[in-house]
Amino acid sequence: MTKEEAMEALTPIFREVFDDESIELSDELTAADVEGWDSVEHFNLISEIERTFGMRFKMKEVSGMKNVGELAEIVAERGSL
Protein backbone atom coordinates (compact mmCIF):
# COMPACT_ATOMS: atom_id res chain seq x y z
CA MET A 1 0.00 0.00 0.00
CA THR A 2 1.25 3.49 -0.77
CA LYS A 3 1.36 6.31 1.73
CA GLU A 4 -1.40 8.07 -0.24
CA GLU A 5 -3.61 4.98 -0.04
CA ALA A 6 -2.92 4.79 3.70
CA MET A 7 -3.92 8.44 4.15
CA GLU A 8 -7.12 7.83 2.20
CA ALA A 9 -7.95 4.78 4.34
CA LEU A 10 -7.09 6.61 7.57
CA THR A 11 -9.42 9.54 6.89
CA PRO A 12 -12.72 7.78 7.76
CA ILE A 13 -11.11 6.34 10.90
CA PHE A 14 -10.11 9.81 12.11
CA ARG A 15 -13.55 11.18 11.26
CA GLU A 16 -15.26 8.39 13.19
CA VAL A 17 -12.99 8.47 16.26
CA PHE A 18 -13.19 12.26 16.59
CA ASP A 19 -16.82 12.46 15.38
CA ASP A 20 -15.87 15.16 12.88
CA GLU A 21 -16.65 14.71 9.17
CA SER A 22 -14.65 17.83 8.31
CA ILE A 23 -11.25 16.37 9.27
CA GLU A 24 -8.85 16.46 6.33
CA LEU A 25 -5.60 14.58 6.86
CA SER A 26 -2.24 15.98 5.85
CA ASP A 27 1.33 14.95 6.55
CA GLU A 28 1.76 17.81 9.01
CA LEU A 29 -1.46 17.25 11.01
CA THR A 30 -0.86 16.73 14.74
CA ALA A 31 -2.95 16.23 17.86
CA ALA A 32 -2.79 19.97 18.48
CA ASP A 33 -4.72 20.52 15.23
CA VAL A 34 -7.69 18.26 16.07
CA GLU A 35 -10.23 19.22 18.71
CA GLY A 36 -10.60 16.47 21.30
CA TRP A 37 -7.38 14.63 20.43
CA ASP A 38 -6.23 13.82 23.94
CA SER A 39 -4.50 10.74 25.36
CA VAL A 40 -7.73 8.74 25.63
CA GLU A 41 -8.75 9.49 22.04
CA HIS A 42 -5.19 8.75 20.89
CA PHE A 43 -5.52 5.28 22.40
CA ASN A 44 -8.90 4.83 20.69
CA LEU A 45 -7.44 6.00 17.38
CA ILE A 46 -4.44 3.64 17.55
CA SER A 47 -6.68 0.72 18.55
CA GLU A 48 -9.04 1.34 15.65
CA ILE A 49 -6.17 1.66 13.17
CA GLU A 50 -4.64 -1.59 14.42
CA ARG A 51 -7.98 -3.37 14.09
CA THR A 52 -8.74 -1.98 10.65
CA PHE A 53 -5.31 -2.70 9.16
CA GLY A 54 -4.63 -5.96 11.00
CA MET A 55 -1.40 -4.71 12.52
CA ARG A 56 0.19 -3.78 15.81
CA PHE A 57 2.20 -0.67 16.55
CA LYS A 58 5.31 -0.90 18.68
CA MET A 59 5.25 1.31 21.77
CA LYS A 60 8.23 3.32 20.47
CA GLU A 61 6.33 3.97 17.23
CA VAL A 62 3.27 5.25 19.05
CA SER A 63 5.27 7.52 21.35
CA GLY A 64 7.64 8.67 18.60
CA MET A 65 5.14 9.71 15.92
CA LYS A 66 5.32 13.44 15.32
CA ASN A 67 2.46 13.79 12.83
CA VAL A 68 -0.08 11.97 10.67
CA GLY A 69 2.44 11.67 7.83
CA GLU A 70 4.64 9.43 9.98
CA LEU A 71 1.60 7.40 11.02
CA ALA A 72 0.63 6.90 7.36
CA GLU A 73 4.15 5.76 6.49
CA ILE A 74 4.02 3.02 9.14
CA VAL A 75 0.55 1.92 8.03
CA ALA A 76 1.69 1.87 4.39
CA GLU A 77 4.66 -0.31 5.30
CA ARG A 78 2.95 -2.84 7.53
CA GLY A 79 -0.81 -2.54 7.25
CA SER A 80 -3.20 -4.39 5.01
CA LEU A 81 -6.80 -3.78 4.08
Q: Where are the domains of the chain?
A: 3-78
Structural fold of domain 3-78: 1.10.1200
Mean pLDDT of 15-41: 96
pLDDT band at 80 (very low <50, low <70, confident <90, very high): confident
The chain-wide mean pLDDT, for the chain, equals 95
Beta carbons within 10 angstroms of residue 59's beta carbon: 7
φ/ψ region of 58 (left if φ > 0, alpha if ψ in -120 to 50, else beta) reads beta
Over the stretch 43-77, which tens digit does the pLDDT of each residue have? 999 999 999 999 999 999 988 899 999 999 999 99
Predicted local confidence at residue 74, as pLDDT: 95
Over 90: is that where the pLDDT of 81 sits?
no
